[in-house]
Amino acid sequence: MANFNKVILLGNLTRDPQLSYTPSQTAVVDFGIATNRRWTGQDGQPRNETCFVDCRAFGKTAENINKYCKKGRPLMVEGRLTYDSWTGQDGAKRSKHRVTVENFQFISAAGAGQAAAGGEQGGAAGDESQIPSENGGSANEAQSGSKDDIPF
């Protein structure tokens, strides 16, 4: 039997990432992403549907998401769907699906629609300095020629 479990989401963070550490000191970050779907109904009226997805990342990925991402910020994540189940304080069994992030991509806020369409990524003034560029430095550092210690 063949198996395949891959999820790719592009959306906005619904809350600030929450960083914690396992007993073995592995970084873990939990955050939520909201994705929007827009379409026209049979009656010709525009419709909107929002999907809220819980995500979890580990290690350096977790530390970088926690450092550079805040509520409302667009982010693309790639990972796998995992199923969590537990017993609540009231004794009831609970469960939910979550995306375990394996890869992510920073998306500039002003260029999110352009990036998804394959165009250039734009950025609002002041936002560019916080988004690392492909060479590891931020956009402003690339222009000034200085490098900061960004771990990826």
Domain count, the chain: 1
- Distance separating alpha carbons of residues 32 and 37, to the nearest angstrom: 17
- Distance separating alpha carbons of residues 127 and 140, to the nearest angstrom: 10
DSSP state of 130: G
What SS3 state is found at 65? helix
Does residue 132 form part of some domain? no
- Residue with token string 């929002």: 50
List the one residue out of 8, 127, 7, 20 whose CA is nearest residue 63. Answer: 20
Pairing of strands 74-87, 27-40: unpaired
Domain interval for residue 61: 7-106
Does residue 42 form part of some domain? yes
- Distance separating alpha carbons of residues 114 and 93, to the nearest angstrom: 43
Report the pLDDT value the prediction gives residue 124, as an integer from 0 to 100: 34
CATH number of 91's domain: 2.40.50.140
Name the helix (H) or strand (E) containing 75: strand 74-87
Which residues does the chain have with pLDDT short of 70? 110-152
Does residue 1 form part of some domain? no
User: Cβ distance 100 to 28 under 8 Å?
Assistant: no
User: Cβ distance 50 to 68 under 8 Å?
Assistant: no
Q: What is the pLDDT of residues 18-42, one digit of tens each?
A: 999 999 999 999 999 999 999 999 9
Does residue 123 form part of some domain? no
Record the pTM: 0.69
Q: What is the pLDDT of residues 117-135, one digit of tens each?
A: 333 333 333 344 444 533 3
